């Protein structure tokens, strides 16, 4: 009984919600089957193969159109991979809310507190353009997704 009262007291403080929210987010990735998906492996292999082929083509002085096509394929694979990771992050946030709610923890508040903590540490370059080149959406996009519940 004391443990339950202690836990409920901790839940009144948003910073105490960060650990369960982070764990729920990572568990949500597993529950949604994000790691090891075939498309992620395919895009990763395509990106690596394109990079290796591009380096080889330049070393062998291949015609520039071949090098250009290789570069475009490599960049396209990377952008598709990053876009897939962004969708996965947004889906994991929403599924974490459900998991936390089922456990009796205010899910939306917990994920919101975690994202608010992340917002303080997010570099300005990522907030402006980093979402294009990284697998994580901006904190503002994640908060908007959380509010809209999509």
The 10 Å Cβ neighbour count of residue 17 is: 24
79-99 pLDDT tens trace: 888 888 889 999 999 999 999
Q: Which of 149, 143, 147, 90 is nearest to 120 (CA)?
A: 143
Q: In the chain, pLDDT over 90 holds for what percent of residues?
A: 46
Res 51 pLDDT > 80: yes
Count H helices and E strands in the chain, helices first: 8, 0
CB atoms inside a 10 Å sphere around CB 140: 13
Residue in this structure with the two tokens 């694979």, named with its chain if needed: 77
HSE (CB half, 13 Å, CA atoms) of 119?
Answer: 12
pLDDT on residue 12: 57
Q: What is the pTM of this model?
A: 0.77
Note the pLDDT of residue 11. Answer: 52
């Amino acid at each position: 009984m004391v443990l339950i009262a202690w836990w409920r007291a901790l839940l009144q403080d948003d910073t105490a919600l960060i650990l369960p929210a982070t764990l729920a987010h990572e568990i949500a990735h597993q529950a949604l089957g994000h790691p090891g998906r075939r498309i992620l492996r395919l895009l990763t292999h395509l990106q690596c193969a394109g990079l290796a082929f591009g380096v080889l083509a330049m070393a062998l002085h291949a015609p520039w159109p071949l090098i250009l096509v290789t570069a475009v394929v490599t960049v396209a694979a990377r952008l598709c991979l990053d876009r897939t990771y962004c969708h996965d992050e947004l889906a994991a946030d929403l599924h974490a809310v459900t998991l936390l709610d089922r456990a009796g923890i205010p899910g939306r508040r917990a994920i919101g507190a975690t994202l608010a903590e992340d917002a303080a540490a997010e570099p300005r370059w990522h907030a402006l353009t980093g979402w294009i080149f990284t697998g994580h959406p901006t904190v503002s996009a994640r908060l908007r997704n959380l509010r809209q519940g999509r």
